[in-house]
Amino acid sequence: QITERIIVLFVVINSQEEVQGKYVVCVLFFLWNVLDVVRYTYSMLARMGIYYLPLTWLNFSLCILLYPVSVLAKAFAICVSLPYFESFGTYSIKLLFPFAFSIYFPCVLKMYLPVLFIGMCFIIQNLFSERKAHLGTGNIKNKSS
């Protein structure tokens, strides 16, 4: 997550002034902050041995709902920034004589998008397994004595 945020925040958003004023950036920061407030509050209380059931449920359920939305917002921010990277050539590198190699940064970002969604699938699976471990399946079954 830290790597994703560094890439999106410093490489994509901070490097292009035109992207900084887009609504998707505000939505992305809002989602990151909501997720972090719930996660860090839960972690702090759990570390102290305090388990508040509504906060536990919110931590393990809200993340499952909001994480894919935040990934979509990241992907949208990358897609919005692509025309600016293409027109300005930011971070595109052309190496000379011995290598004759160039890196076109918009292509790197386009290759990063599928990686972002594949990573999201693994994280969602992990969140579901953590939710099941902490909250159970959520199904109410009759207990036979």
Partnered with residue 93 across adjacent β-strands are 103
Q: Where are the domains of the chain?
A: 1-10+21-93+104-142
Q: Count of alpha carbons within 13 Å of 135, Cβ hemisphere only? A: 19
Q: What percent of the chain has pLDDT over 70?
A: 92
Rounded distance, CA 72 to CA 113, Å?
10
Q: What is the pLDDT of residues 76-101, one digit of tens each?
A: 999 999 999 988 888 888 777 677 77
* HSE-CB of 50 using CA atoms within 13 angstroms: 9
What pLDDT, on the 0 to 100 scale, is given for residue 137? 62
Give the contacts of 116 (CB within 8 A, at least 6 positions apart). 4, 71, 74, 75, 78
- Residue found by looking up tokens 């536990």 in the block: 56
- Which run of H or E residues covers position 9? none
Q: In angstroms, what is the C-alpha Rg of the chain?
A: 20
pLDDT tens digits for range 96-135: 767 777 888 999 999 999 999 999 999 999 999 999 998 8
What contacts 115, CB < 8 A, 6 or more positions away? none
